[in-house]
Amino acid sequence: MPHPLRSVAVFCGSRFGADPAHGVAARALGTGLAEQGLKLVYGGGGVGLMGEIASAALAAGGAVHGVIPDFLLRAERPPPSGMTALEVVPSMHARKTRMFELSDGFIALSGGLGTLDELVEILTWRQLGLHDKPVVALDIAGWAQPFLALVEAMIGQGFVAESGRRLFQLAPDVPECLALLRAAPLPDSAMPAARL
């Protein structure tokens, strides 16, 4: 059966992380997206987990669309060839907006502050009703646990609504993550992304 979504953005680290499980998951996710016919939208880099997921998706015959700010072309070194598209944009904000526009859903794979920024921003846009695209956080080697604890603490302190828990789903591994995306209700394409 064709996948209900066409493209998924993956936010992930420009480093590999200390635990090899993160690299294993990045490769499995790249392969899994390609096998399901989902286009990978990502930050366009060839370094760390970003490079791993892009190469795995391309090796499995998938489509890969990178979006990278011009000033990061040197530091994040896009993969040399084979990308379906590599868009060079003028700023970090343009990158996030463009990745949002290109994607029907979002996955936060392991990463650092940049990954966290991207995950939180997409959740705040959803909290504001600017979109209802599915968001899944992958909990590889416990990566998502401190974030979950922070959200729970903010709910307990009365700064986040109880419904904040439903802004994203948590997946313990790549197969569950892909299953959650397949089962997610279709996003409403009429929502006001123009207000981003």
Q: Rounded to the nearest whole angstrom, what is the least distance from the CB of residue 20 to ligand AMP in the complex?
A: 17
Among residues 45 and 134, whose Cβ is nearest to ligand AMP?
45
Size of the site for ligand AMP (CB under 6 A): 17
CA 110 to CA 115: how far, in whole Å? Answer: 7
Among residues 47 and 171, whose Cβ is nearest to ligand AMP?
47
The residues in 71-130 that bind ligand AMP, with binding defined as CB under 6 A, are 72, 76, 92, 95-96, 111-115, 117-118
Q: What is Dmax (Cα atoms) for the chain?
A: 49
Among residues 117 and 165, whose Cβ is nearest to ligand AMP?
117
Output the DSSP codes for 102-157.
Answer: H-SEEEE-S-SHHHHHHHHHHHHHHHTTS----EEEE-GGGTTHHHHHHHHHHHHT
Letters for 125-164 (x = contact with ligand AMP by CB under 6 A, - = none) are ----------------------------------------
Q: Rounded to the nearest whole angstrom, what is the least distance from the CB of residue 104 to ligand AMP in the complex?
A: 19
Q: Rounded to the nearest whole angstrom, what is the least distance from the CB of residue 3 to ligand AMP in the complex?
A: 25
Q: Considering only the stretches 12-20, 26-34, 126-134, 179-187, report the one whose residues sit in contact with ligand AMP under the rule CB under 6 A.
A: 12-20
CA 92 to CA 113: how far, in whole Å? Answer: 13
Q: Which of 15, 77, 98, 182 binds ligand AMP (CB under 6 A)?
A: 15
Among residues 40 and 184, whose Cβ is nearest to ligand AMP?
40
CB 66 within 8 A of CB 75: no
- End-to-end alpha-carbon separation of the chain, Å? 33
Q: Rounded to the nearest whole angstrom, what is the least distance from the CB of residue 101 to ligand AMP in the complex?
A: 14
50 to 37, 53, 112: CA distances (angstroms): 19, 6, 12
Question: Is 192 in a helix, a strand, or coil?
Answer: coil
Q: Is the dihedral of CA 78, 81, 83, 87 positive or negative?
A: positive
For ligand AMP, the binding residues (CB under 6 A) are 13-15, 43, 45, 72, 76, 92, 95-96, 111-115, 117-118
